[in-house]
Structure 1
Amino acid sequence: MKNLQVAVTDYGFPNLDQEKNILTPLGFEFVTGQCKTGAEVAELCRDADAILTQWAPVTADAIEELNNCKIIVRYGIGVDNVDVEAAKRKGIPVVNIPDYAVQEVADHTLSLLLSIVRKIPQVIEQVRSGVWEIAPCRPIMGLQNKVIGVAGFGNISKAVVKRAQAFGLAAIGYDPFVEEGVFKQLGVEKVDWQTLFSRSDILSVHLPLTEQTKHILGADAFRLMKKTSFLVNTSRGGTIDTAALIDALTGGEIAGAALDVLEHEPISPESPLLRMDHCIVTSHCAWYSENALLRLQEYAALEIKRLFTGESPLHVVNGVGK
């Protein structure tokens, strides 16, 4: 009887000990790569029974080449590197891991929010250069009774709202897939898309990247925002039209932006965003803590274990097997 095979298309972890501890006792052998193209994915994964993938492009052509695959698991929340419809046509469930770093991303969101509103980087730079002011970088907005608006109302968004409310912020939110009662339970007012932009003093983005959400935050959206408002994005960079954001920041349509995700990563050293005092960029690291890293690997392997021990995966995103 041949062993089962799990193919790991690519990974940035120090090792795969977590996955091996869970799957090797089930008879899995590991094949690993650092695939950059769909062709490389197809070559590595052709005979795999299960696939773990982080950033590699699991394209429709690659999926068509799969002979034995029963499940594709994405290390992370977004699945935009996997052609989920192609997998669905082939009857392969695509699974994500939405719950491994909820608290870390929420913490990072609030860190960015506080840094951009309180102008922490600018103040630090002033102090380092010998400028000591007890009311620096004026004006700085107080948070009490200001409004945080959340675009999307999933687990991370809810965790962000809970933290923001502790700072005295009122919360509004938009998510057409969530009932108004769910918003009310957390003290959040459900609003429409236009109201979200026009009322928010801080807009925090928590959207997946889909055909519908790509560039959903563009010139029209920024024109609706207050000139004193701030934008924070820790979800998917492609939800924001980068050129439109640069124009909005340059033209003073919004007061600032704090971004952990970019439309194109890594960000170009020549990007105007890196030369703006009122823009903070971090390196898609909101998810990271050592604990979250281990949880991500463990939870991904457990999804494969569930399927191959007769259970259903917890987080199928393309409806296969539900």
Structure 2
Amino acid sequence: MTFKIVLTDYEFPDLAPEREVLARAGFELTACQAKSEDALIAACAGADAVINQYAQLTPKVIGTLDRCRIISRYGIGLNTIDVPTATDLGIYIGNVPDGSLEEVSDHAIAMLLSLVRGLTKFDKAVKGGKWDYTVVKPLYRVRGRTLGLLSFGNIAQKVALKMAGFGVRIIAHDPYANAERARALGVELVDLETLCRQSDYLSIHVPLVAETHHIMSAPQFALMKPTAIVVNVARGPVIDEPALIAALQEGRLAGAGLDVFETEPVGARHPLLGMDNVVLSSHAAWYSEDSEYEIRTKTAQNVVDVLQGREPTYLANPAVRDIARGPVAAE
């Protein structure tokens, strides 16, 4: 049986892991670099399955997927897919929520510690011929500080586990948090205002949905300590970027570590690029050779599962179960 499996867009140098998984099932992959709605509609016409990275699958695009049984997205976030439209049409949504938990949590901690210990300032000074510990003044001891977690999902829990050894008090805000799990990890659940007021370090891990867009904006930054550090390895638009920039420029926040931005890639004249109290990376917190292979193969396996008559291992829209599309006769 022949299926049309379309990859909307990708940033990888090759597609060997995906093709390997699909080939074992007797399937082939049609790879595209479609970005606009019209290009996506044309590329995905007649597709039985769609694999997606960054291209926006809007209601208009999804509405044309008359054969599609699954959209499988690389990684955790679903902000590129109009999930309600896909669900209403009986299309499974698959993702890979466990492919980079270690990497993202490590990255958040690395950004935080780099800022807490002034490593980028030290590095710049030493390479510039300046041997002087005062270039980073003032620094403060980590032990005894309060680490705030915005979200208490899998990645935030990894951060809590790893940071516990640094002797920090850990608090978290998440309306959907598992209170029993929080108690087991010694994490106190608080409201958003308390999180902002008490955090010396704030690590952000919320998904990008309507209720989290700009969840950190001017009112929240105004509550924070001027010595506080903010780290975001989630999605750029959960932070109101101009509000963050203003707080940093005006000394109302001490620093920020950002892997994600409201617009990606960051423009050459972006204000954040000139700040020495900011550590930046290129939406790469998820990456290691290990995680990349795991995410790519699991994304492809979601497609294989559905086209072979099973649910995807990583089903992101369980509400689709009662209305999921059955197979369409292949041509």
Q: What interval of TM-score do these two structures reach, taking the shorter chain for normalisation?
A: over 0.9
- Amino acid in the other structure paired with 1:167: F
Give the alignment of 1:143-182 within 5 angstroms: 143-182=142-181
Report the alpha carbon displacement of residue 38 of structure 1 after superposing the two structures with TM: 1.6
Q: Which residue matches 2:321?
A: 321
Partner Cα separation in structure 2 for residue 179 and residue 101 of structure 1: 21
Partner Cα separation in structure 2 for residue 134 and residue 11 of structure 1: 44
Partner Cα separation in structure 2 for residue 293 and residue 99 of structure 1: 12
Contact 1:32/1:44, CA 8 A, preserved across alignment: no
Secondary structure of residue in 2 paired with 1:212: helix
Report the alpha carbon displacement of residue 168 of structure 1 after superposing the two structures with TM: 1.7
Contact 2:88/2:320, CA 8 A, preserved across alignment: no
Q: Which residue matches 1:233?
A: 232
Higher normalized contact order (CA 8 Å, seq sep 6+, divided by chain length): 2
Contact 1:222/1:248, CA 8 A, preserved across alignment: yes
- Cα-to-partner distance string for 1:100-138 (whole Å, 9 max, x where unaligned): 111011111111001111111111111111111245411
Which ranges in structure 2 are unaligned for 5 or more consecutive residues?
323-331
Contact 1:307/1:313, CA 8 A, preserved across alignment: yes
Q: Which residue matches 1:104?
A: 103
TM-score, scaled to structure 2 = 0.94
Partner Cα separation in structure 2 for residue 285 and residue 223 of structure 1: 29
Give the alignment of 1:99-248 within 5 angstroms: 99-248=98-247
Partner Cα separation in structure 2 for residue 316 and residue 38 of structure 1: 25
Q: Which residue matches 1:90?
A: 89
TM-score, scaled to structure 1 = 0.96
- Cα-to-partner distance string for 1:157-189 (whole Å, 9 max, x where unaligned): 111111111222121111111231110111111
Give the alignment of 1:31-110 within 5 angstroms: 31-110=30-109
Partner Cα separation in structure 2 for residue 30 and residue 273 of structure 1: 39
Report the alpha carbon displacement of residue 26 of structure 1 after superposing the two structures with TM: 2.6
Contact 2:22/2:29, CA 8 A, preserved across alignment: no
Secondary structure of residue in 2 paired with 1:4: coil
Partner Cα separation in structure 1 for residue 194 and residue 81 of structure 2: 33
Contact 1:4/1:27, CA 8 A, preserved across alignment: no
- Amino acid in the other structure paired with 1:30: L
Q: Which residue matches 1:270?
A: 269
Q: Give RMSD over aligned pairs.
A: 1.3
Report the alpha carbon displacement of residue 88 of structure 1 after superposing the two structures with TM: 1.5
Report the alpha carbon displacement of residue 201 of structure 1 after superposing the two structures with TM: 0.5
Partner Cα separation in structure 1 for residue 228 and residue 264 of structure 2: 25
- Amino acid in the other structure paired with 1:151: L
Partner Cα separation in structure 2 for residue 296 and residue 154 of structure 1: 18
Report the alpha carbon displacement of residue 29 of structure 1 after superposing the two structures with TM: 2.3
Give the aligned length: 321
Give me the identity figure in percent: 39
- Cα-to-partner distance string for 1:188-238 (whole Å, 9 max, x where unaligned): 111111111111100000011111111110000001111111000000010
- Amino acid in the other structure paired with 1:229: A
Report the alpha carbon displacement of residue 24 of structure 1 after superposing the two structures with TM: 2.3
Shifted more, 228-237 versus 2-11: the winner is: 2-11
Q: Which residue matches 1:297?
A: 296
Report the alpha carbon displacement of residue 311 of structure 1 after superposing the two structures with TM: 2.6
